[in-house]
Chain A
Amino acid sequence: MVQNSFKADPKYLKTYRISEDEYQMICKLLGREPEGLEWALFSALWSEHCSYKSSKVHLRKFYSKNDIVVDAEGENAGVIHLGQGEQVSFKMESHNHPSFISPHQGAATGVGGILRDIFTMGARPIALGNYLCFGEPKADRMSLIVDGVVRGIADYGNCVGVPMITGQTNFHSSYNGNVLVNAFALGYFGKEDQVYSSKAHGTGNYVVYVGAKTGKDGVHGASMASESFDEDSEDKKPTVQIGDPFYEKLLIEGCLEVMKLDLVEAIQDMGAAGLTSSSFEMSDGGGVGLHLHLDKVPARDSDITPEEILLSESQERMLLICKPENFAKISEVFDKWDLDAAVIGEVVDEKEITLFWKGEKQLKIDPSVLVENAPRYNRSYDEIPSKSVQDLKILDSDLKDGLNKIYSHIEGGSKNWIYQQYDQRVGARTAKDCSSSIGVVSLPETGRALSVVLGCRPYVMRMHPGLGGADAVIYPSLELAVKGFKSLAVTDCLNFGNPEKPELMSEFVAAVESMSEACKAIDAPVISGNVSLYNETLEKNVTSTPSTGIVGIKDDIQNIPSDKFQQNGDVAFVLRLPQVKTEGCYKEICGEQPKYSGELNNKELSEFVTGLKEIVLKNIITTSKVSGNFGLAFTLSKMCMSGMGLKVDNQEVFSSQGLFGESLYEVVLCVSKNQKEGFLQLASELKSKLNQLEIYELGTTGGSNLEINSQSVPVDHLFKEYNQSWEKNFEVLA
């Protein structure tokens, strides 16, 4: 136990969001009370956002390495080899708190931040994704928030010229007071490109500031993002940063150019906690010290204080280390791109950071005190027992009534209103856009197909966090498999509530552990990620939501099965590995909490994922889709959105789960009639490895109705209902 021998001014503790216990730790580390700028430094670097103090002990459990992972520990984003000299870097990050306070800027700067994490590594960003969770359409401010977030993402991503290729949007009352905005970005390294590190080195090397000027925006942003919301959240607007995508575009070009010219020793973006976190992490990671002259930082306001310079989260800024002889060339490149490049300090031997203001020493501190000695909490949690029940009560309904109900709900309707605002094709590499179940781009140098899909179904998390965590990995990897892609690696964004509440910490641990096991089973390591805690408003927590981004590869960009029926007379099949049955999302929109029965078996699921991919790679599958939310009948109705119907003549496939109950997992695959025998052969080979596998022949595509046994709905009607859903729910946004 730390003795409370130092007395803190409660006003300071509140301003700097430092707890009493942490204050005592600081005093013990320093051997005295913190002074002046030190308050600001501890506030920023010991915030949950920068230090991961509540989550780090569990994040270490992630399956995170295999032979394609490039060692980039402690760097801005993970990197994997794709073979043939190509590499990619990708990561996902949250901007939940800022987006709730100021939707447009919050979401826009989320995109800017994740892009900087990627090009800091030396990779050119070539794809974006977005995972959004909003409250109910009728919730207070929700139309404004949805509008602002979508515009923010669009304004930023469209202008920097990186295509949005995939996304997922969820709506639920638990997000009414705290929305989730998670941005994914992926960057590409060609054969000639090197991976850059953020670790400073080389005594006498310059510390160079590049990019936009520093202003007073976002001061204390990191510690704001590490707090729950209360009635005064609106007052936190000044802590939200302002972004300028035009500057970001210039910064991308400038940085990639100096990296290509091999002028850079180390580079780090100024993200959360701005100059403070970037400089301390570069110094600590490299085991060297830095002298920093804060008055040399290009500033927007002449009356900006040293503390504001340290904590400002002004956007579109980078810190880089270069040899003194290379500075002139660096300056020339940034000048060409109309950006500032200023020497603000130098690397020194002794591992201390010394801050100067107008020549006068302000502070000298060992960065490891702030970085390595940040608090680590093993917050209390319990194992969450299985909630599997014996008997499920699946709600059933007439086909048409059920589909109407789903389509008129915001969760079941088209989200095209959102995706249409994003540039999905800039770069001229997009093969599958946001309207598809997975995003696909062609790789610049080899033309192979690279896919991105985002995962985590909040309603499965609400059933059980262990089940939901595994589902956040398995479900997207199945989506990749049915398009012929091998899942390579995973990034995640762990959005949870208050970790000081044991029941929520228990959900966090259960989700992380089950995600990790699923990743290991499919051999897709977690290479990067982000944790966002304290997603609660007035004591009400969001659904624990560990969103994921999975990247996959396929050698050939042709022959990717469509999501929708393509040709008349195709035969549709269901392959089902029914490890878990659920009452499904349908029950949830009917106002009841769905239950589930059974447990997932990762080993068999891994076999299923691989087996499906192998079948698709035979190039006989014309259409494929994983049957997910709202069950098989709904999935089939969405597959009719090409305008082509399906006649199903099979009672058995619905006998155990009705039209709208769900199985984890099942997929729909179509083949042309003359490939039917060949397909059945492949399916039975898979069944020989997976005893439980069920194979159903549904019927034949064609006509203008979705006919399921004796019930029929016109495809036109489905199409209309699907597309009108958005305006029914968000009248003001139509």
Chain B
Amino acid sequence: MIGVVRFLGTNCDQDIWKAVESSGKTPSWLWYQDQFNYKDYESIIIPGGFSYGDYVRTGALAAKTPVMDSVREAAKYGVPIMGICNGFQILCESGLLPGVLVKNNNLRFIDKWVELKGENSCESWGGKMQSCNLPIAHGEGCFFTHEEELKQIEDQQQVWLRYKENPNGSLNDIAGVMNKEKNVAGLMPHPERALFDWMGGSDGAKFF
């Protein structure tokens, strides 16, 4: 069973549900107010959207909800967790992933298809990625951290995906990172929006 977390303002929840189903697995909702037992889930996905309207800071309020206590617990026990877009922001705010996502360097929302290259393999979420085309859609997707942590992320091979052409000013062109243990991963692009050719590309399917 794959847990799909929903907060007030999550808006890619149904999309993730469909993506999980089309990969042949069984999705199950996790409501923000509820805690859960990590043993019941083979993995957990935090979908994108505007949890709490992006008030305070993107992901900041969601990170303080009861369900995230369980997610932190699950992370500790090695359950694979993936955060997409706002989900990535929430994982950073929760302290499960390094760095933070700040406003795009053009200070505007950007929706476009981008080319990515897989840097280090994330076994839980598709393994080694070669290059892939996925859409981004975010206002705050610029990956940022201090020099020391950036070096650590690189040295410990935590960079998951890089933009071939940096759309938003992210440090080191980072589009996705993992924790040190590599069971928690976050990315700004939306693989669930690239499952079939009619969507404009199907490279997203291998993430699920």
Contacts and interface: CB of A to CB of B under 8 A. Distances in A.
Interface of A: 151, 154-155, 158-161, 244-247, 249-250, 337-338, 419-428, 430-431, 433, 442, 557-558, 560
Contacts of A424: 111, 137
Given A158-B137, A246-B52, A425-B111, A430 B11 contact: no
A180 to B, nearest CB: 23
A282 to B, nearest CB: 28
Contacts of B195: 428
Nearest to B51: A246
A194 B205 CA distance: 33
27 contacts: A151-B108, A154-B109, A158-B139, A161-B12, A245-B53, A246-B8, A246-B50, A246-B52, A246-B55, A247-B53, A249-B9, A420-B110, A420-B112, A422-B109, A424-B137, A425-B111, A425-B190, A425-B193, A428-B15, A428-B193, A428-B199, A430-B193, A431-B198, A431-B199, A431-B200, A433-B200, A560-B198
Nearest to A733: B108
Interface residues of B, number: 31
A423 B86 CA distance: 14
A442 B139 CA distance: 26
Given A249-B9, A427-B15, A422 B53 contact: no
Contacts of B18: 428
Interface in B1-55: 8-9, 11-12, 14-15, 18-19, 48-50, 52-55
A160 B49 CA distance: 8
A245 B112 contact: no
A245 B109 CA distance: 15
Contacts of B193: 425-426, 428, 430
A427 B14 contact: yes
B135 interface: yes
Those 8 A-B pairs whose CB atoms lie nearest each other, nearest first: A161-B11, A246-B53, A428-B15, A159-B50, A425-B193, A423-B137, A431-B198, A421-B109
Given A420-B111, A428-B15, 8 more contacts: A158-B137, A159-B9, A159-B11, A160-B11, A419-B111, A427-B14, A428-B190, A430-B199
Contacts of B111: 419-425
B93 interface: no
Contact of B12 (A154, A426, A431): A426
Most chain B CB within 10 A, of A158, A422, A427, A558, is at A158
B198 A442 contact: yes
Contacts of B192: 428
Nearest to B192: A428
B11 A426 contact: yes
A166 to B, nearest CB: 14
Contacts of A425: 111, 135, 137, 190, 193, 199
Contact of B53 (A244, A430, A557): A244
Interface of B: 8-9, 11-12, 14-15, 18-19, 48-50, 52-55, 108-112, 135, 137, 139, 190, 192-193, 195, 197-200
Contacts, number: 91
Nearest to B18: A428
A154 B12 CA distance: 17
A427 B18 CA distance: 10
Most chain A CB within 10 A, of B14, B53, B112, B190, is at B53
B19 A161 contact: no
Contact of B198 (A155, A244, A558): A558
A426 B193 CA distance: 8
B50 A245 contact: yes
Contacts of B112: 420
A628 to B, nearest CB: 24
Nearest to B17: A428
Given A420-B110, A431-B198, A159 B12 contact: no
B108 A421 contact: yes
Contacts of A557: 198
Contacts of B109: 154-155, 158, 420-423
Contact of B50 (A249, A420, A427, A428): A249
Given A425-B137, A431-B198, A338 B11 contact: no
Contacts of B199: 425, 428, 430-431
B15 A426 contact: yes
A249 B110 contact: no
Contacts of A428: 12, 14-15, 18-19, 190, 192-193, 195, 199
Contacts of A558: 197-198
B199 to A, nearest CB: 7
Contacts of B52: 246
A422 B139 CA distance: 10
A117 B45 CA distance: 33
B53 A159 contact: yes
Nearest to A158: B109
A337 B53 contact: no
Contacts of B48: 426
A243 to B, nearest CB: 11
Nearest to B54: A159
A154 B110 CA distance: 10
Contact of A161 (B49, B197, B200): B49
A423 B111 CA distance: 6
Contact of A249 (B11, B19, B108): B11
Nearest to A435: B112
Nearest to A159: B50
Nearest to A244: B53
B104 to A, nearest CB: 10
A331 B7 CA distance: 19
A246 B139 contact: no
A178 to B, nearest CB: 26
Most chain A CB within 10 A, of B12, B55, B109, is at B109
Most chain A CB within 10 A, of B50, B135, B197, B198, is at B198
Contact of B9 (A155, A246, A430): A246
A250 B137 contact: no
A428 B13 CA distance: 10
A495 to B, nearest CB: 27
Contacts of B139: 158
Contacts of B19: 428
B8 A250 contact: yes
A423 B52 CA distance: 18
Contacts of B197: 558
Contacts of B12: 161, 426, 428
Contact of B8 (A338, A419, A420): A338
